[in-house]
Structure 1
Amino acid sequence: MVLDTQIKAQLQQYLTMLEGDLVLKISAGEDKTSRDMVELVTELEKMSPRITVEHVQLERTPSFSVNKVGEDSGVVFAGLPLGHEFTSLVLALLQVSGRAPKVDEAVIKRIQAIQEPLHFETFVSLTCHNCPDVVQALNIMAVLNPNITHTMVEGGTFQDEVKAKDIMAVPTVFLNNENFAGGRMEIEDILQKLGSKSDGTEFANVEPFDVLVVGGGPAGASAAIYTARKGIRTGIVAERFGGQVNDTLSIENIIGTKVTEGPKFVASLEGHVADYDIEVMKSQRVAHISRKELVEVELENGAVLKSKAVILSTGARYRQLGVPGEEAFKNKGVAYCPHCDGPIFKGKNVAVVGGGNSGVEAAIDLAGIVNHVTLLQRGNELKADRVLQERLRSLPNVTVLTNALTQEITGTDKVNGLTYVDRVSGQEHHIELEGVFVQIGLLPNTEFLRGTIDVNAHGEIIVDKHGATSMPGVFAAGDCTDTVYKQIVISMGSGATAALGAFDYLIRHTAPTQELVGV
């Protein structure tokens, strides 16, 4: 069975929300994926009287398109949209049927203003937790503008095409048969890359906030919820809601939640924020912050947001090696997310650079997929938890190299090896491989604060026990600060601390724009 009983029950509920009749046009062959696809669309047809199925010839086989009766939507699934892509299928069914996607009106206008024909293709793996964000964003664009089409291509089903296009990471997006972009993107990111940039006019009439949170990760969400619960005007401005948590597969240290996945946890954070009167401004980068009568937060598009207090929760990003070949072969063998890109390297030889928890966990995960993993640690011993080290060393297809300093990632059109120096002997060595996963920690996203707010030698914002920074009325929380430990649960706690610190600041220094509650 393609769909188990539980998924069928959930799907049945969603299908009652269809607002118009649909035609699923399927192009199927005799292979197993085609048979499974026929079974899937047949099940959908049985579940709803609004769905009918037609057998046609599409560009790829097996594939099927989701259409309104009498018109083509441009939304196509090549390969089975199961695993992480099952939600993409459900949303496509609802949105093509006429259910309005949850997109800001300003963004909708930017999508509908596109005049030239755009044919997008997104290559995904069903284990990639970042891929659905891209697939769903491009599906929405296709639904809202007849000039735009989008096809999700499941790489495992179309391996020959993946090899021919030298796709080494997912998601990878092609536009009109040319490589367009890779990695997780939201609609605003795609529009900006297309040249449709926000000019900031949508923020021209935004009233000053009591508290404006910069960043939408666990710290930012926690801070915003805490301040909103005080009944004061709260906003969040974030480039990427959820931040680094979006790139985390398994989370097992949130007390009270035994296990969850990063994207699922981010969805719960976003849902919790939505329960409060919090103005969320996504896909916006902050360029500068200054203290005048109010704290002024200038965005890269030139807009200026004002607030009586600000909480910085900008998080961190993957640290790069900074060696020759890393930038040149990014998404061509150099990767940072083993969960997303691991399946691309099935049966191949790869390296993991980094001996901390993230590096050792990546090596363990990859060992179950690839032919061989070489883990390189520049120090004389691994830094990961002992239990992880024991698990790693028990694997027959893993080699651990300590005192190994990476010098260069080599290749021609894609990665073919890695050069390192033995720090003890001074000898240089070269390993032939096809992928390099960089797992050497994080860098705080604080470059825009230089010269305005005190940071330490690592670029981390210096805060006191209340979360206050060196600028009056500005607080900070989470991985962008000088907190000793970088953990989700600690970020959430520090977000609450900064929110309470900011609230106390408002009481003592300003008159909030709304009546205070909970004092």
Structure 2
Amino acid sequence: MELNLDITQEPKVKLEEEVLYDTLIIGGGPAGLNTALYAKRKGMKVGIITERLGGQVMDTSMVENYLGYESMTGEGLVNKFISHVQNLQVPILKEVRVEKLSKEGELHKVHLNNGEVYQSRTLVLATGSKPRKLGIPGEQEFSGKGVAYCAICDGPFFEGLDVVIAGGGNTAVESALDLAKIATKVDLVHRSQFRADQVLVDQLKNYDNIHIHLDTQMEEILGEAMVTGIKVLDKNTGEQRIMNTNGIFVEIGYLPNSDAFQDYVEVNDRKEIIVDGYGRTNVKGVFAAGDITTIPYKQIITSAGDGAKVALAVNDYLNTHAKIEAPQQVVAK
């Protein structure tokens, strides 16, 4: 039975501008929430700042690969995470956006879009990522109704059905290979040529139920209550046609939610925050966890685990550095 927690309710404890925190966590998804859980249990003064409590998991229809829960809605799983953290009296400031980060000596300051400024000895950046969209008619309308963005997460729901994979990189090809084991037919559609590693592309020929459509542009997603097909354009012939399908997996990459941090910490060419094995960034006292980072395999359980690891790393950092005192004027806007 799922927990019906009202995540719109105001937390019992609130974030305060006058307080110097041991760590402030920016992001309220699995990575951020589990960081808070572990940090609080280590005795840290901790708070969460998030634009959307629950993160991307809130958009997941069903989760069947999180250990301990055979099947649960994304919202139901997130509610359990939030309840656990709220029971530890962790202050959560939600529905606000971070405009920028700054430093004052060894202190890190978080500037919000509402003008408030919070400060901490350490920061954990855990704002996750969002899937790249096709940007075509029908995509938003049928999201969760046949349109999905994670073959690992949602693939089992399409066992014995026909599916389309949109994309031509490694993730798209790997998704096609995985789905070919359970789906009746897999149509791999890409607007140009493969960008995936040749060793992966070569494996496609081992599956008779995988059909490749290169130089093919997806123009519209069709359906009624659920997806029934896609309209595509053959860029070589100019021919438009309808491909019937039960589901569409958009596997064209993810966009890290790192815009507010790119002037503060180092990112790679995909705008992921570069971290070491302990979640440390190139800035002293600033850590990052989950999908926003360079860690591979962006999954709910790996993000939650990454949050635990980073919280322990933050604790070690605070234990081995001289205690940072707040300046006399603690709030500066």
TM-score by length of 2: 0.73
Alpha-carbon contact 1:408-1:419 (below 8 Å) kept: yes
Structure 2 CA distance for aligned equivalents of residues 373 and 429 of structure 1: 21
> Which residue of structure 1 lines up, in the alignment, with residue 285 of structure 2?
473
Unaligned runs of at least 5 residues, structure 2: 187-208, 223-228, 326-333
Structure 2 CA distance for aligned equivalents of residues 384 and 257 of structure 1: 24
| Aligned CA distance change for structure 1 residues 227 and 438 (closer, same or farther; 3 Å) | same
Alpha-carbon contact 1:357-1:383 (below 8 Å) kept: no
SS at 1:245 equivalent: helix
Deviates more, 1:398-407 or 1:299-308: 398-407
> Which residue of structure 2 lines up, in the alignment, with residue 392 of structure 1?
183
In structure 1, give the amino acid aligned to 2:241: I
Structure 2 CA distance for aligned equivalents of residues 366 and 338 of structure 1: 20
In structure 2, give the amino acid aligned to 1:320: K
Structure 2 CA distance for aligned equivalents of residues 262 and 299 of structure 1: 28
> Which residue of structure 2 lines up, in the alignment, with residue 172 of structure 1?
none
| Aligned CA distance change for structure 1 residues 336 and 295 (closer, same or farther; 3 Å) | farther
Deviation at 1:261, TM superposition (A): 2.2
Match of 1:275 among 87, 108, 112: 87
> Which residue of structure 2 lines up, in the alignment, with residue 357 of structure 1?
151
Structure 2 CA distance for aligned equivalents of residues 376 and 335 of structure 1: 15
Alpha-carbon contact 1:254-1:488 (below 8 Å) kept: yes
Task: Say if 2:250 is the partner of 1:439.
Answer: yes
Deviation at 1:393, TM superposition (A): 2.2
| Aligned CA distance change for structure 1 residues 406 and 102 (closer, same or farther; 3 Å) | same
Structure 2 CA distance for aligned equivalents of residues 277 and 290 of structure 1: 27
- Deviation per residue, 1:355-405 (Å, 9 max, x gap): x726983992895xxxx865544469842274531322259xx99543254
> Which residue of structure 1 lines up, in the alignment, with residue 213 of structure 2?
402
> Which residue of structure 2 lines up, in the alignment, with residue 252 of structure 1?
64
Deviation at 1:242, TM superposition (A): 1.4
Taking only the aligned residue pairs, the percentage that are identical comes to 31
| Aligned CA distance change for structure 1 residues 429 and 400 (closer, same or farther; 3 Å) | farther
SS at 2:134 equivalent: coil
Task: Say if 2:139 is the partner of 1:334.
Answer: yes
Match of 1:428 among 216, 225, 238: 238
- Deviation per residue, 1:387-431 (Å, 9 max, x gap): 531322259xx99543254264499xxxx9644346xxx333323
- What is the root-mean-square deviation in Å for CA atoms of aligned residues? 3.9
Deviation at 1:319, TM superposition (A): 0.8
Match of 1:102 among 9, 32, 53: 9
SS at 2:316 equivalent: helix
> Which residue of structure 1 lines up, in the alignment, with residue 200 of structure 2?
none
SS at 1:467 equivalent: coil
TM-score by length of 1: 0.49
Count matched residues: 292
| Aligned CA distance change for structure 1 residues 305 and 428 (closer, same or farther; 3 Å) | farther
Unaligned runs of at least 5 residues, structure 1: 1-6, 8-83, 92-100, 106-201, 343-351, 514-519
Structure 2 CA distance for aligned equivalents of residues 205 and 471 of structure 1: 23
| Aligned CA distance change for structure 1 residues 280 and 433 (closer, same or farther; 3 Å) | same
Deviation at 1:231, TM superposition (A): 1.4
Counterparts of 1:11-410 in structure 2, within 5 Å, are 102-103=9-10, 205-293=17-105, 294-321=107-134, 326=136, 329=137, 333-335=138-140, 338-339=143-144, 341-342=145-146, 357=151, 361=155, 364=158, 375-378=165-168, 382-384=173-175, 386=177, 388-393=179-184, 400-406=211-217, 408-409=219-220
| Aligned CA distance change for structure 1 residues 246 and 336 (closer, same or farther; 3 Å) | farther
Match of 1:463 among 253, 262, 275: 275
> Which residue of structure 1 lines up, in the alignment, with residue 329 of structure 2?
none
Structure 1 CA distance for aligned equivalents of residues 169 and 23 of structure 2: 43
Q: Answer with 1 or 2: which has the greater Rg.
A: 1
Deviation at 1:317, TM superposition (A): 0.7
Deviation at 1:259, TM superposition (A): 3.0
Structure 1 CA distance for aligned equivalents of residues 286 and 164 of structure 2: 45
Counterparts of 1:479-518 in structure 2, within 5 Å, are 479-511=291-323
Deviation at 1:508, TM superposition (A): 2.2
Whose helix proportion is higher, 1 or 2? 1
SS at 1:485 equivalent: coil
In structure 2, give the amino acid aligned to 1:428: G
